[in-house]
A and B are shown apart, each in its own frame.
Chain A
Amino acid sequence: AQKITQTQPGMFVQEKEAVTLDCTYDTSDQSYGLFWYKQPSSGEMIFLIYQGSYDEQNATEGRYSLNFQKARKSANLVISASQLGDSAMYFCAMRGVLLQGGSEKLVFGKGTKLTVNP
């Protein structure tokens, strides 16, 4: 079974500084994908970034980057130059390879609440 662990219930960061949100995962699949979503207080789930298990380079999307360490089974999200609008819940999720009879479902972590202070 797949499992996502986010050990930081809450994080605080000063505006304009960088912050790293931790995510570790457990899977027996050789091929899998890792996703990060942002959920602001308004409630919607916003896709941020994706990392494939066989991607040679760490994923980047603007101020978001993923520190992917396959051997350690970690996929930490790095937000550079934090902004007040980055205050939100952040969820790490994974999906494994589709096996016969398997599911497309995403498995989510419990999330980390990030607060950006002015």
Chain B
Amino acid sequence: DAGVIQSPRHEVTEMGQEVTLRCKPISGHDYLFWYRQTMMRGLELLIYFNNNVPIDDSGMPEDRFSAKMPNASFSTLKIQPSEPRDSAVYFCASSTGRVGGSIRDTQYFGPGTRLTVL
């Protein structure tokens, strides 16, 4: 089975431009997560969806960031306008959700998108 797919793998853009990151979760997974990784802040959750519905977006840094999940197999994270401080690796992850009340629910990560904003 294919893992989480992210595109593009690398993105270089100029400040002020719109950036769209894409993610295809593992088929059958009900949860989708967007994380950002930087040297200063480490790995931090931006937003997550359950059955295509955004559940917790408290980690989204500001209004320039938005995320959508129009269907079970596709999600986007958009930054508009982009700024140099948005440079980071953005990960998408998916999981099946809790089974029988167990919290043993592993999140599987995509390869990440390395974003550089000049």
Q: Contact residues of A with B, CB < 8 Å? A: 31-33, 35, 37, 42-47, 50, 52, 91, 95-98, 103-106, 108-111
Contact of A110 among B31, B42, B112 (CB under 8 A): B42
Given contacts A45-B91, A91-B43, A103-B48, contact A50 B106 (CB under 8 A): yes
B108–A108 touching, CB < 8 Å = no
Given contacts A35-B106, A45-B91, A45-B109, contact A108 B48 (CB under 8 A): no
**Which residues of chain A have C-beta atoms less than 8 A from B95's C-beta?**
104
B103–A32 touching, CB < 8 Å = yes
Given contacts A44-B109, A45-B109, A103-B48, contact A108 B103 (CB under 8 A): no
In the bound assembly, the distance between CA atoms of A105 and B43 in angstroms comes to: 11
**Which residues of chain B have C-beta atoms less than 8 A from A110's C-beta?**
42
Contact of A47 among B33, B56, B108, B114 (CB under 8 A): B108
- Can you spell out 21 A-B residue pairs with CB atoms less than 8 angstroms apart? A31-B103, A33-B104, A33-B105, A37-B109, A43-B89, A43-B112, A43-B114, A45-B91, A46-B109, A50-B104, A95-B105, A98-B98, A103-B48, A103-B55, A104-B31, A104-B50, A104-B55, A104-B56, A104-B105, A105-B33, A105-B48
B45 interface hit (Cβ, 8 Å): yes
CB distance from B91 to the nearest CB of A (A): 6
- Determine the residue in chain B with the shortest Cβ distance to A102: B56
CB distance from B23 to the nearest CB of A (A): 14
B42–A108 touching, CB < 8 Å = yes
CB distance from A113 to the nearest CB of B (A): 12
Given A91-B43, A104-B56, A108-B44, output 16 extra A-B contacts at Cβ < 8 Å. Answer: A35-B107, A44-B109, A45-B109, A50-B106, A96-B103, A103-B45, A103-B56, A103-B58, A104-B31, A104-B33, A104-B48, A104-B55, A108-B42, A108-B43, A109-B42, A111-B42
Q: Of residues 72 to 118 in B, which have CB atoms within 8 Å of A's CB atoms?
A: 89, 91, 93, 95, 98, 102-112, 114
Contact of B103 among A91, A95, A111 (CB under 8 A): A95
**Which residues of chain A have C-beta atoms less than 8 A from B31's C-beta?**
104
